[in-house]
Structure 1
Amino acid sequence: MLRGMATLNLWADDLEAASAWYTAVLGREPYYVVPGGYVEFRVGDHEHELGIIARSYSPHPQPDAPGGAVVNWHVGDVRSSFARLLELGATEYEGVVERGNGEGFVTAAVVDPFGNVLGIMENPHYVRMLTRADDVR
């Protein structure tokens, strides 16, 4: 039934500031913009969609504290990526944790300046999947 992530949406009170922050994090401008309401970025090896929605567009009240699901984005080096996110103004949600008994799974999570949890992960399955996809090409 679920075939893959289509779009991950985050909320922000200040859409312009969120767009600028994620532009710095991702190293690219949003490819789709609805002025004052929504911006969308293409992210990573599969060009997944990361949307930022102006919180004023939400049909439901949004929580004041970060929480809910944590999406972990694959990165090459969790420690340096975590440090960079903190330098850019994120705050620690969960520090660097080695998981899986030394099998190469490392995670961390931050709260972006707009109250969203952003997870990062070193995941050997992701790397193997990319290698297999490259072999097919």
Structure 2
Amino acid sequence: MLRGIATVVFTAEDVEAAKEWYTELLGVEAYFSRPGPDGRTAYAEFRIGDYQTELGLLDRRFSPQPPGAAPGGVVANWAVDDIEASFQRLLDLGAKEYEPITTRGEGFITASVIDPFGNVLGIMHNTHYLAILGPQG
């Protein structure tokens, strides 16, 4: 039934500011953007990673649920090659530590931050992910 992640959506009060921050972090521009009724960017989308997974940024006004007082919910862990360097880069760009670098088992290390817009962004070194990539990896 579940075939893979199609789009991960984060919300932000200011999608343009979020788009700039993620452009700096990812090193690529959003490939899609849509204005809201007031002309401000309501949604922007990046394609990133080995499978060109979509990362969407949605104006919080259009979120199906009002934002809570604290970050929470699902944590999507994005595969990274160097978890220490990736974690430090996120912190250097203004993200705040949510969960420190934690070894979960042989070949499985996670960490997460809260981006400047209140979203939890997880990163992970995962040997299963690398095995799936196989020779093209």
Q: What SS class does the counterpart of residue 98 from structure 1 fall into?
A: strand
Provide the residue aligned with 2:125 in structure 1. 122
* Counterpart Cα distance in 2 of 1:87 and 1:12: 20
CA positional deviation for 1:60? 3.0
Distance in 1 (CA, whole Å) between partners of 2:27 and 2:75 is: 22
Look up the match of 2:88.
83
Matched, 1:46 2:46: no
Q: Write out per-residue CA displacement over residues 68-122 of structure 1, whole angstroms, 9 at most, x where no aligned residue.
A: 000000000111100000000000000100111xx11111000000000000000
Runs of at least 4 residues of structure 1 off by over 6 A? none
What is the aligned partner in structure 2 of residue 72 from structure 1?
77
Cα distance in structure 2, aligned partners of 1:60 and 1:84: 30
Q: Distance in 1 between matches of 2:64 and 2:102?
A: 35
Structure 2 gaps of 5+ residues are 36-40
SS for the counterpart of 1:131 is helix
- CA deviation after TM superposition for structure 1 residue 58, in Å: 2.1
Instruction: Tell me which residue corresponds to 2:21.
Output: 21
Residue 95 in structure 1 maps to residue 100 in structure 2:
yes
Aligned residue type for 2:118: G
SS at 1:82 equivalent: helix
Q: Secondary structure at the match of 1:37?
A: strand
Counterpart Cα distance in 2 of 1:97 and 1:47 = 26
| Alignment RMSD | 1.2
Partner of 2:38 in structure 1? none
- In the aligned structure 2, how far is the partner of 1:50 from the partner of 1:123? 20
The count of corresponding residues between Structure 1 and Structure 2 is 132
CA distance in 2, matches of 1:120, 1:60: 25
Partner Cα separation in structure 2 for residue 119 and residue 92 of structure 1? 10
Percent of aligned pairs with the same amino acid: 56
SS of residue in 2 equivalent to 1:70:
coil
Q: How far off is 1:6 after superposition? A: 0.7
Which residue number corresponds to residue 61 of structure 2?
A: 56
